[in-house]
Amino acid sequence: MSTQYHVSSNPHVRSASSTSSIMTLVVIALLPAAGFGIYNFGLRAALVLLVSVASAVLTEFLFGLYKKKMTITDLSAVVTGLLLGMNLPVTVPLWMAALGSVFAILVVKCLFGGLGQNFMNPALAARCFLVISFPRQMTNFISTGEGALDAYTGATPLALIKVGESVNVMDMILGKTTGTIGETSTLAIVIGACILLLAGVIDLRVPGSYIVSFAIFTVLFGGHGFEPAYISAQLAGGGLMLGAFFMATDYVTRPITVKGQYVYGIFLGIMTGVFRFLGPGAEGVSFAIVLGNLLVPLIEKYTRPVPFGGKGVKRNG
């Protein structure tokens, strides 16, 4: 018998992009916002990010040892750890950051079957878990930068608005305000989002419908009518941008159907508005997204695409 060649089913070529290349791009896109967080809050922010990333990767590694299937090379644990860290206040105890990462990776992801099987965004689920378990530490925000006034120490811009104070929208867009490590600078987040959009990792379907529907909800129910400064502050604050571009777009926990993605985005916009304006708190992005995650199977079921030729003859030629 002469040489035997490899045999496999078609197609015999594959595109260059891989799970790890996508995750790498997400990490790169998160760097401007993370970097700004370190600049804004100081070196302790870097330490918090480091601890959350390291404990996420370590958890994934240990679970991989137990399951005898190593999955850290797909880099998804790095993304989860980084996102969680960016959603924590800089004052958070380090053990709490580590606990959050362990919860995200072990409970939310691995126990449900690993990457692709989790029904909630691990980083956000862990943040919600921490906010509920340790409300005081998780909302202990400090003032930052020279622009911050001592009088407002400890209050995020949205908390200030809620009690009727005015805020500097320009500071919010640049990020010279307080909040969680990665959420303050709209500019840095949008730069990262542009990287993902240009690389084709995400599209505007979810973030676009989320932001637009939230803006409309704000006009209708925000209590200020059509007031550009108020709407901008609502859009720039409370991690809405970070949530819309980096967490609502999480592949695993958003609907896969095109129509479903619009429905999901609009749902998130409305729920964020409900939490912010009708609830007691000032924020609502995390809970809106986590709630949206739970509805994904239902949304997908009712937004299935019509197959080509499914409606029979269509003449438009």
Partner 1 sequence: MAKLTFQGGIHPYDGKDLSKDKPIVELKAGPVLVFPLSQHIGAPAKPLVQKGDYVYRGQKIAEAGSFVSANIHSSVSGTVKAIEPRRVASGDMVMSIVIENDEKDLEMQYCPPEDVEKLSKEDILAYIREAGIVGMGGAGFPTHVKLSPKNPEKIEYVIANCAECEPYLTSDYRRMIEEPEKLVAGLKIILSLFDKAQGIIAVEDNKPDCIKLLKDLTRNETRISVRALQTKYPQGGERSLIYATTGRQINSSMLPADVGCIVNNVDTIVAVERAVIEGKPLMERIVTLTGDAMKHPRNYKVPTGMSYSEILEIAGGFKETPEKMICGGPMMGVAIFSTDIPVTKTSTALLALTKDEVSAMEPGPCINCGRCLEVCPGRVMPSKLADAAEHFDEETFLELHGMECCECGCCSFICPAKRPLTQEIKSMRKIQLAKRKK
User: CB of residue 306 vs partner 1: minimum separation in angstroms?
Assistant: 7
Q: Which is nearer to partner 1, 16 or 163 (CB)?
A: 16
Q: Which is nearer to partner 1, 66 or 308 (CB)?
A: 308
Of the CA atoms within 13 Å of residue 228, those in its CB half-sphere come to 1
Q: Report the C-alpha gap between 18 and 129 in whole angstroms.
A: 31
Q: Sort 295 into a burial class: Cβ within 10 Å, 0-12 / 13-18 / 19+.
A: middle
Which one-letter DSSP state was computed for residue 152? G
Q: Which is nearer to partner 1, 223 or 307 (CB)?
A: 307
Nearest to 98 by CA among 43, 63, 51: 51
Which one-letter DSSP state was computed for residue 311? T
Q: Do 156 and 142 contact (CB within 8 A), yes or no?
A: no
Nearest to 207 by CA among 189, 228, 226, 182: 189
Q: Report the C-alpha gap between 233 and 248 in whole angstroms.
A: 20
Binding stretches for partner 1 (CB under 8 A): 1-15, 17-19, 21-22, 74, 76, 114-117, 251-252, 254, 256-258, 304-317
User: CB of residue 255 vs partner 1: minimum separation in angstroms?
Assistant: 9
Pull the structure tokens for residue 282. Answer: 């000032």
Q: How far apart are the two ends of the chain, measured CA to CA in Å?
A: 55
Report which residue type is found at 281. G
User: CB of residue 117 vs partner 1: minimum separation in angstroms?
Assistant: 7
User: CB of residue 111 vs partner 1: minimum separation in angstroms?
Assistant: 15
User: CB of residue 162 vs partner 1: minimum separation in angstroms?
Assistant: 36
Q: Do 189 and 241 contact (CB within 8 A), yes or no?
A: yes
User: CB of residue 147 vs partner 1: minimum separation in angstroms?
Assistant: 40
Q: Which is nearer to partner 1, 18 or 133 (CB)?
A: 18
Report which residue type is found at 219. V
Q: Which is nearer to partner 1, 74 or 183 (CB)?
A: 74
User: CB of residue 207 vs partner 1: minimum separation in angstroms?
Assistant: 15
Nearest to 37 by CA among 21, 52, 24: 52
Q: Which is nearer to partner 1, 223 or 309 (CB)?
A: 309
Q: Which is nearer to partner 1, 15 or 136 (CB)?
A: 15
